[in-house]
A and B are shown apart, each in its own frame.
Chain A
Amino acid sequence: MVERAEGTRITMNQNSDIKTWYIKNFETFENNLNGESTKPIHQIRREAISNFSKLNFPTNHDEEWRFTSISPILKFNFELGERVDLKTSQIKKYLFKEIKGNILVFVNGYFSPSLSIIKKYSDGIKVGSISEEIKNNSSIINQHLGKYANYREQIFTALSTAFTIDGAFIYIPDNKIIEEPVQVLFITSSFGKKIISQPRNLYVAGKNSQATIIERYVSLDEGVYFSNVVTEIIAGENSKFEHIKLQEESSSSFHISRTEVDQERASNFTSYSISFGGEIARHDINSRFNDEGGECSLNGLYLIRGNQLYDTHSLIDHAKPFCNSHENYKGILDDNSRGVFNGKVIVRRNAQKTNAFQENKNIILSSGALVNTKPQLEIFADDVKCSHGATIGQLNEDSMFYLKSRGIGEEKAKAILIHAFASDVVKTINVEEVKKYLEEILEKRFNK
């Protein structure tokens, strides 16, 4: 491979070399599939790799990637990781111990039955792994997988789809509820090898169903690796689905992730996208109202430093009338970190009585940090309420002085104000232990 990824541009050579690398890897992967190649999913994989070969990795000339250069990711020939056996003691600290629900653990992208805890359900609820479902030729997989995340135009999604191996699978039939939050842990243990793992999650929530999923991305060592995640969520009629994503990858890793949400009539979807890790991390989250009466709430908190970059691209598609969306993203940036927020809301012609509210606020703690934020409202209906706001600023001087004048020192005052800034995202999280954990992180990071 030609090592000339210095600037922000990706050279043609780099682009095609690395593509060739992944295509070659696909052949090896395909050869090792042992009989799975006759399954319908494999037709999708093949279509995806063919799309991948036709697409190009984005550069800063692509509008959707203007501020995020992925050339550092293309410098490495990442390869599929190996199955690694970890001990429960090694992963314990990544699990919320008060939550007594299902636990799905994936190491280097592969499901680990020995580390996972799966409850037995007699009422049709399924909590498990994608690999298992593929093996059993699950009709739900065949019906939904790859139907929402676009692998025809998005190169990273094409790559993920081609290498569909494993990930979390949750199916909740109509009128069923998973009481305790499900913990899904993706853990990388690369031993210095430059590996790629491509978690592929599918959550299908039936009519009147309810569930909360906590997805967590961590690594055992500070290695260079690449997580390319695709999650598809189907929120059925009148369902209530909450998705909490905690991205805490190694600070020298790359994390590219796409969440696609399909919302049926009167469904209620809430997302929390919390991001601390990764050298370059990007989350595309798209939700579409397919019917009336839906509620969508997208919340985000990114806390970055050093040379980290975090990019959120969200899209809420108000395709139908009488739906409400609420978006609240907050960023805290230190050192030379960079933040990107692009929040698109489309209100289609017949989507009357839409309420769409969007806000992105950022606090910059050093002169080297930078945020590019862009709200993007495209409204084609006339009887709607839409608002958006974006701010980038420093900690309020008056507030700092006020706290200091009460005897509170510089660092502690800073910590208090940062905590307060983040709190309106954190405090709405319904899972008490996650809330506490995030508050601790905020506290520890700034209260020296």
Chain B
Amino acid sequence: MLEIKNLHASIEGKEILKGINFKVNAGEVHAIMGPNGSGKSTLAQVLAGRKEYEVTKGEVVFEGKNLLELSPEDRAREGIFLAFQYPVEIPGVSNTNLLKTALNEIRRYRGLEQLDAMEFLTHLKKKTKLVEMDQALLSRAVNDGFSGGEKKRNEILQMAVLEPKLSILDETDSGLDIDALRIVANGVNKLKSHERATVVVTHYQRLLNYIVPDFVHVLYNGKIVKSGGKELAFELEEKGYDWLKEQKELV
């Protein structure tokens, strides 16, 4: 589904990603872990198409298409979804309106019929239940005055409504209490399918107790320095990242 080859990216002339390689197949859950500043969020943002990051080398192929040539909106329409680490507050735009516009834009791109208000609301209601979100938040402005947990849950709701092929969760677990974490993870798990894949970017192993990854990759200094199964996450939790840094320096 997604193949990243030797990806280099920089911001304001500073290289952050220094040759990333990895592959995601449909049905898989990947976790990308790593210490702060290793480039995890940069990778997520580059995949979503943030233009502040300049891709200097490498390629990204998504479902046979050159992803790097697509605009952010077309990437989303192709089926990529990024749950933001810091969801943006947009006063004056209602949550429901954003979701309806987004879903219909995506449907138009795919040559599907537009959902009318009733059809959309039915769809939305189902998904709202899935992420155990308060209905009242739907009519409020996007993330405006939401608590940290509500914002993250709202990201998962958006994901649920838009039904992407590939979801990238950028530190969706940070700042969540255990109940919110469980709800968010539950939402992600319920959306899992053979056609869809998830990339979980996280600093902590904690989330991976709830969203069990098939693969774990450790990102350090702009490169994936180690990949393994879910047991790698436990190892990291136990030993921290320092042993990897040392290992890397030896190499």
Contact = CB atoms under 8 A, between A and B. Distances in A.
B73 A402 contact: no
Interface stretch (A95-103, A189-197, A413-421): A413-421
Given A403-B98, A404-B72, A412 B90 contact: no
Most chain B beta-carbon neighbours within 10 Å: one of A398, A410, A424 = A398
B90 A399 contact: yes
A408 B102 contact: yes
B92 A421 contact: yes
Interface string A386-418: 000000000010110111111111101100110
Contacts of A396: 88
A398 B88 contact: yes
Interface stretch (B6-14, B34-42, B76-84, B223-231): B76-84
B145 interface: no
Interface residues of A, number: 22
A328 B93 CA distance: 19
A420 B88 contact: no
A427 to B, nearest CB: 8
Contacts of B49: 404-405
B131 interface: no
Interface residues of B, number: 30
Nearest to B73: A404
A423 interface: yes
A406 B48 contact: no
Interface in B49-96: 49-51, 71-73, 75-77, 81-82, 84, 87-88, 90-93
B73 A410 contact: yes
Contacts of A406: 76, 98, 102, 158, 162
A407 B77 contact: yes
Interface string B152-175: 000000100010000000000000
Contacts of A407: 73, 76-77, 102-103, 105-106, 109, 162
Nearest to B103: A407
A405 B101 contact: no
Contacts of B71: 404, 410
Most chain B beta-carbon neighbours within 10 Å: one of A408, A410, A412 = A408
Most chain B beta-carbon neighbours within 10 Å: one of A401, A406, A408, A417 = A406
Given A405-B84, A416-B93, 18 more contacts: A402-B84, A404-B72, A405-B72, A405-B73, A405-B76, A405-B82, A406-B102, A407-B102, A409-B73, A409-B105, A416-B98, A419-B92, A419-B93, A420-B90, A420-B91, A420-B93, A423-B92, A424-B91
